[in-house]
Amino acid sequence: MNKRDGEGSSRKNADAAREQSISSSPVVAAFKVFQQELDTKHDKYERLVKISRDITIESKRTIFLLHRVTNVPNTEDVLKEADLKLEGVRQKIGQIAEELRGEDFYQFHRAFTPGIQEYVEAVSFSHYIRHRSLISLEEINARLVYMRAEGVDPKGSGEGVAPGAQVLTFHVTPSDYLLGVADLTGELMRMCISSVGNGDIDTPFQLSQFLRQIHDGFSYIGNTGPYEVSKKLHTLRQSLGKVEDACYTLRVRGSEIPKHMLADVFCSRTALLDPDEGVA
């Protein structure tokens, strides 16, 4: 080592020494290992981001589809189609679960959290339209269980291995659930406004009650939740305000008109009301 330093003034030797160190030094050998490790990790991350984007897009489409239930006669068809789409999304979440097998869930959490939140939003929206209630975290997680017909699990992971088939689960974290539900309120507000436009006078009141419950829930959580929750709480307040205003308008105008004519009045006013309410 010292000898090489001594001749450092002659450029050629220094270069040769450098050349040699690049190919053989233990430091470089160690860094080759790190290179592999980092590349593997980054590749996995990118794959997860890509799946997450697909999930976001499909979930958004499902939500748009579900918004159509307010103005079609047969809601069952729409709901069925939405279920089909959500099944596709679940398959994609299965891919995430596959990627995460044997990994630390939270190491890659940031890669797929946007997609999962969007999925929670879509699935809870369809659940609300069907059952008029809030889907629970368990119900969501219960559907994210996948069977793999592969032979033997090489690592023997402790996820309850059935003979011949392998069970793979994905868990939505409470924070992701919470943020997804916060997004749901925005969709409910839109649904409320458009149902007013369609002359449906019961839905707005149901929605305002439901939104109020969710709002109370979020106020109960307050700032114990993740940072994003407080941001979403602000939007939630605005949505709630709009829905409450809509209900107020319905009540005031509804009392002026005999009950049996109310639907007609709203139907005829739809064209005028809709853009107005949509903005308000």
Residues that bind another protein (CB under 8 A): 1-6, 8-9, 18, 21-22, 25-28, 30-32, 34-35, 37-39, 41-42, 104-107, 109, 133-134, 136-138, 174-175, 177-178, 210, 213-214, 216-218, 220-221, 224-225
Both tokens of residue 134?
A: 């809030």
- Name which of 38 and 280 has its Cβ closer to another protein: 38
- Residue found by looking up tokens 């992701």 in the block: 176
Cα separation, 247 vs 239, in Å, equals 13
Give least dist CB 51 to another protein, A. Answer: 18
- Name which of 170 and 218 has its Cβ closer to another protein: 218
Establish whether 121 is an annotated binding residue: yes
Cβ–Cβ under 8 Å, residues 168 and 146? yes
Q: For residue 169, list its beta bridge partners.
A: 145
Give least dist CB 22 to another protein, A. Answer: 5
Instruction: Report which of 231, 232, 234, 241 is spatially closest to residue 189, judged by C-alpha positions.
Output: 241
CA distances to 119, 171, 248 from 89, rounded to whole Å, are 8, 15, 38
- Name which of 225 and 254 has its Cβ closer to another protein: 225
Give least dist CB 181 to another protein, A. Answer: 9
Establish whether 7 is an annotated binding residue: no
- Name which of 32 and 251 has its Cβ closer to another protein: 32
Cα separation, 18 vs 143, in Å, equals 58
The count of C-alpha atoms lying within 13 angstroms of the C-alpha of 4, restricted to the half-sphere facing its C-beta, is 10
Both tokens of residue 147?
A: 């069977």
Give least dist CB 255 to another protein, A. Answer: 29
Residues comprising the binding site? 121, 187
Residues comprising the binding site for Mg(2+)? 121, 187
